[in-house]
A and B are shown apart, each in its own frame.
Chain A
Amino acid sequence: MATQLMIEKWLGNVSTTTIGATKAEGGTRANVVKIGGEQGLPFLFQEAAMPNKPVIAFEVWDIPPVDWPDELVKSLGSVVNDPFAWAEKCVSEYKAKILCVRMQGAHPDFGNKSADDSAKFISQLLKKVSVPLIIVGSGDDQKDSQVLPLCCEAAKSERCLVGSAVQENYKTLVGAVLADGHNIIAESPIDINIAKQLNILISDMGLSLDRIVINPTIGALGYGLEYAYSIMERARLAALAGDKTVGSPFICFVGQETWRTKEAMISQKEFPAWGPEAQRGVAWEIVTAAALIQAGADLLVMRHPKAVEKVNKYIGSLMESSL
């Protein structure tokens, strides 16, 4: 007797967000990146289409990295001392299709660059590289609400992804994103209700849902990964059941969370039983990424070139049978 397979049919789907604008679309990017659009759970191609594969964005800073472990800095080489060279290396050598630039230098504790200087940096970066950009703030809310609107303006019509909007502070950024034709990252603290609420608030201001990408706030492997994992699964199931307000693609800051864990950083000398830190850190970043990809991650911001290479290969083999 033939086994009756269980095929899930979903009413809803994830919205598709396009990052980057080509010349024909009013921008200057050489390529665009599309994320989202899933019609079912990840990689179950026999029951639901997954039109866009998960994408990795290399993380670069507008200043040389601060507090990054030696192994990570070593893997990128001396280019990290020159943000433009760093960004260019990601594109030319590591074949990045999209970059995530963090305006860390604007933070009061990290140089306190002015909003004007930050905007200038973005203008120059757009000339140096031709891939689409994700632009994120320094983490200082007050400063970011001055810096990000000017960065948005500097990148007008380039259809960047800019973040992050949070529940307590979203209006300024939404306004800037609307005015200059970008997409927005909506960040919620591992809470599906806040994610939904924030998406509604943002779309009420006139930014359509397909221009929102949810940052569910992840923890690294061993540091609360499972909370984000389940929030993402719940949100995705709700979206597939038809709730458009949580049907945005997910962005996960994998590198940022991984490279502050003890397991990714501490030397083998101090913890002989854990093996060499060079491989351990990479493993920590790729296992974090793999689990989140299975939970539905669409865009992963990562740091280590080896980890990016391996996860890209993994995504490639996952997508093979979709053809």
Chain B
Amino acid sequence: MALSGLDIYKLLPKTNCRECGFATCLAFAMQLAKKSVSLEKCPYVSEEAKKILEASSQPPIKLITLGTGETKFDVGNEAVMFRHEEKFHHECGIGFIIEDNLKDAEIKVLLNKINQLSFERVGLQLNVNLVALKQNGQAGRFIEALKLVLSSTSLPLVLMSDNVAALRPALELIRDKKPLIYQANKNNFSELAKLAIEFKAVLVVQDTDLDVLSGLAQEINKLGAVDLLLDTGKKSISEKIWDLTQIRRLALKKSNRSFGYPTIVIVEENDPYEEAVEVATYISKYAGVILMKGIEAWESLSLLTLRQNIYTDPQKPLQIEPKLYPVGQAGKSSPVLVTTNFSLSYYTVLSEVEASKIPSYILSVDTEGMSVLTAWAAEKFTPGKISDSLNQFGVADMLSHKNLIMPGYVAMISGEFEDTSGWKITVGPKESAGLPSFLKNVS
């Protein structure tokens, strides 16, 4: 946790030597607290003070990178309990468990399905993050299955085994790929920590008891394995919510370093709907990585969409560049639909216009990322604003007509707009789902 100016002052020499450029040590301390100067400006600061100050500047929840290359991703470095306080920074990783005792052909089918799980939503690509291979039998089979996995996925890997004889050759196959080892417990942690250090892997630390878990994390950290994820094992959903909440609170509010790592949750539920609600819970409540079984497209689409929602910056709604967008081979006589520059509004309209197969223009007015009704209420979607956009993007010059299609929800501004702008308005449907049939009728 960040130290206050007074806390820092207590650690300084208090000689007011002015060599740092400030009149007093207190003034210097205040600037340090604001992070506007560096501690190096003080030539007399003690080693001990340096250590404390450096530790306090570390994030309370460590940033952990999994994988390498294009599919690598970060988790951790979270700063708040509630998204409205700031935002949730790093989307939780979502991965799928594959059992190594499946037949090769079955494993291939699963991997092919996982490779299809990528969806475009509001102009962004939603992707799954991990493949976890779980050892059920001999080390030899685990290695064979791992080779198969490696041949058909580029996603970061999780090795689910507590067997060093299987883990070592597996890690040799994926040296430097920053995999995750699942999991170290109080019986095997020193061996697994050694492997994690040697192969630069991230290590899951597991115990069902928070006390034991924090002790283990400290021990493993002392051994030199510093990239860790925390797991409190199999429990009921509300017990998991309690654990995840406590770990986040202790890291953020008590600066408890042994809880200062992202968490991981395993969901083992055969019914895909029940699996989906459980995963949805952990996406909302602080999980860093979630491993699950269900790889149906409809299930992933709903969960990845929830993750996108929860991790959106509440202060900055997703928005697009305001301008005139042609859809298909739009020409001089094509209809022009007006909407906002809120991503969700624009992309919803876009997908319906595309579905109608009628070449059109979409005029995205700068509403600072607000949706149609919100922007109208906040006076960001007014006749004046729309006229400005028409002029700015030279819309009149690109058309042989002066007709605009206005969202149904703001029909009330049509009259004023027609009177002041010289454009004709057609009021469109309220819901964009009505656009294909609407466009067919107007054209």
Contact = CB atoms under 8 A, between A and B. Distances in A.
Interface of A: 2-6, 41-46, 189, 221-226, 229-230, 233-234, 237, 260, 262-263, 265, 270, 273-276, 279-280, 282-284, 286-287, 289-291, 294-295, 306-307, 310-311, 313-314, 317-322
Interface stretch (B1-9, B54-62, B189-197, B233-241): B233-241
B305 A275 contact: no
A221 B84 CA distance: 18
A306 B299 CA distance: 15
B72 to A, nearest CB: 24
A225 B309 contact: yes
Contacts of B297: 273-275
Q: Which 8 A-B pairs have the closest CB atoms?
A: A275-B297, A275-B298, A280-B298, A290-B280, A226-B309, A230-B84, A6-B249, A290-B277
Contacts of B210: 3, 5
A237 B238 CA distance: 19
B242 A283 contact: no
B237 A318 contact: yes
A282 B250 CA distance: 37
Interface in B5-46: none
Given A276-B298, A279-B273, A317-B237, 12 more contacts: A3-B210, A3-B211, A43-B242, A222-B308, A226-B309, A237-B82, A260-B433, A282-B273, A284-B302, A287-B276, A314-B274, A320-B236
Contacts of A4: 254
A46 B430 CA distance: 46
Interface in B119-160: 119, 121
A34 B348 CA distance: 39
A221 B305 contact: yes
Interface string B215-254: 0000000000000000000001111011001100110011
Given A3-B210, A6-B250, A311-B277, A283 B298 contact: yes
B246 A6 contact: yes
A271 to B, nearest CB: 9
8 contacts: A222-B305, A222-B308, A229-B310, A237-B82, A283-B273, A283-B298, A289-B277, A310-B273
Given A290-B281, A311-B277, A2 B211 contact: yes
Contact of B84 (A6, A234, A294): A234
Interface string B251-292: 001101000000000000001111011101101110000000
B416 interface: no
B116 A273 contact: yes
B302 A310 contact: no
A44 B245 CA distance: 9
A260 B431 contact: yes
Contact of B306 (A276, A287, A313): A287
A6 B211 contact: no
A42 B245 CA distance: 11
B238 A3 contact: no
Contacts of B371: 224
Nearest to B310: A226
Contacts of B296: 275, 279
